[in-house]
Structure 1
Amino acid sequence: MVVTEVGCLGIKPGLEVMNDSKPEGAVLAKAYTTVTATDGGPYRSFWGLEIENPLMLWAFFDFDSVEHHRRFAELHGAEIVKGLPTLLTHGEFTKHIAFTSSAPVALRSPITQIILIHVRGNVDCSVKEGLSATLEATLSTTFVAHAGVTATSYGLFCLAAAIPRLEGYESLSDAEVAELSQDVAQAVHDNIKLPLLSISAMTSTTGSPRNEATLAVRQKLSLRDPQPPGNFPGSALPFSEQERKCHNEDDFRGHAEIRSGKQHDGAVAFCKSSKGMATLTKAVNGNPPYPAVRYRHVDRWKINHDFKVEWEPGCETSERIQEIQQPTGPGGPVCYHLMRANYLNCINGGVGGSVQVGCLIYTYNGGKAGQYY
């Protein structure tokens, strides 16, 4: 499980911290890229300025656990962040959240919306579980009408956050962004009716309330993931898409007709599902069980479309994680195109095939009856 440190910090007026050509921008970029390059550091770092209040900086760091973060901070924290006091006025808050696995996808976008939902400390686990289920249902229905939203994520700790991804931000007007925020705010208000729950403005460490509700669009993020290497570090395995292997149609005797449009629908459904947004890690010491996700889509003709992504058994590399959505990082192949190509690039009656990207194997089986995988 990945735990994300979420921090909100005040920036001194007049500084252009997102401009790397400025001294202050270079200080921030050096600090937040050094953390991922340092041994034992977080896997990913994301940061950006709040749109409504550009004097607020948001940062996200992915660790294995809170203990992982604590150890790293003790060993390297002071040295890495020593230049930040020249940029910052105060720390608004820091929290650790176990987001759903689509958070990295949501954060790789021009604009990310943050919703903070405050739950009283004496709320028991059953209420929090109910909140989690309600959030999932609300998000899945609210954003259907917004074609630009391609990923949502949420997590509970001391706060809950939902992070939708809006592609094509530059084409959205301020009015459209505001309208989307209002839609989300109304949906959360209407659907989340659990006891002891309040949706309120964030309170800073100085005790003064944050302006506006926390349901507004918060920030424009700049992704600073390290560029993927040509090969996995310490391995000869290419960090790229390998040759596709098509199924033998004889192994699918009597299969139904696999329609292209229905396979497309299945690929979209899988890659937008929580399973398609998952992050897989290599097996401990290379031993089973090997990480995998499985998804069955049944079309209107009752034909099965089975999707599977697994960590190749015995695949050893110092890269511990790969995202199903973007297995080689930004600019590389994505889940939908990989699964779609398993159908389009295999001339075998539509029964599909598989392709390996890094250590992940993407498999599509079309029209197979019985238990899937």
Structure 2
Amino acid sequence: MKLRTTFYYLLIFIISTSCSDAQEYLEDSHEVVVKESKDFGILKGIPSSFKLEKYTILDPNPTGKYLGGSAFASICKKNDNDYLVVAMGYGKYDDFAFSELLNFDLNIQTKQFTGTSLFQENLSKIQTGGNSLVKLNDKVILSLFYGKESTNSINIYMKSSVDNGVTWSGPKMINTLKDVYQHAANNRAILLSSGRILLPMAIGGAGSQNYIFCYYSDDNGDTWQNTKLLYTKGNSLYEPCVEELSDGRLIMTLRNSSGKIIFAFSNDDGLTWTDFVKSDITSPDAPSTIAKIPGKNLLVLSWNNTDRIFDYHNRSPLSLAISKDEGKTWKYLFDIENTLNVGAYYPTINFSKDKMLITYTKKNVGDSRSVVVFSEVSISSLEDLLNKAN
């Protein structure tokens, strides 16, 4: 009875602190209305039997410090063949367990990982993770990640390299909002054609009133500001992903609780967002990733294509679609992972010269550990699938 009473008061404390955070920033927030759409975000076609080449699984020291495995990778190109990969290494796979960031050097020609090392030790009371890598030029790379202090406090940090990832500065805190549960999914930061660095963010968690916003920098990461907080009633918007369209507008995909992917748009490099629309693309309460194929007017989308009731372990299938009209219609290409009782989630999309690289976190139901899976597909194969009749 005493244990139950203690748990009850702890639950009340967590709820009350989360509510106080929401109220604190309510005056600086703006409600958006999500509209139903009959002509945007339409998913067409049936998936092909195309299979990606999956060649390496990150599995850091499973009998040692990282018993929870690896998860939530971010990737940055160093040269044509070599890529910097940073992933979370868990002591135990849990949102509130110890983790820190690990470095893996990936050669996509030999398909081997070398030089595994500690990228960033845990600098917070709970865990460090959620990394994004942004390459500003041939030499400068930024790393943006979070430090989780409590159930209602996360800080955002940045470290930089001026020698193409060989050495790194110490971390510095960049968040302008304090004492809130703010977070970004892995591999989310983006360098816009204007030179602005954009980090899409959210405040809150599953089942709570959430806010989305962006941190941005117009001076190569020296200083950071935040945009206005946005929310919608009766839905949880979080873990946004942003891509720049051919006409300079930005498109955003949003994890939410409606059962469909929500899109939004910006005409001012992410300062403001309009035209929130619920697509007909089925998705559970899980994040999606959108990216533009370099040099082509084609968008790709990776998401969990299922209406299954929210379950961390059953986020499957993980699917891929492509659009040639700026996201208005999508062609369902294939499933990256489609196995029952397997979770495949938090995908990343990056590009080499002629290939698309996809990573995702994979965890079997009942397993205590997760792994990061890497796969690749030629861009010409994607175009062939797009051009084939259903």
TM-score, structure 1 as length reference:
0.28
Q: Give 1 or 2: higher strand fraction.
A: 2
TM-score, structure 2 as length reference:
0.27
Q: Which of structures 1 and 2 has the bigger CA Rg?
A: 1
Q: Give 1 or 2: higher helix fraction.
A: 1
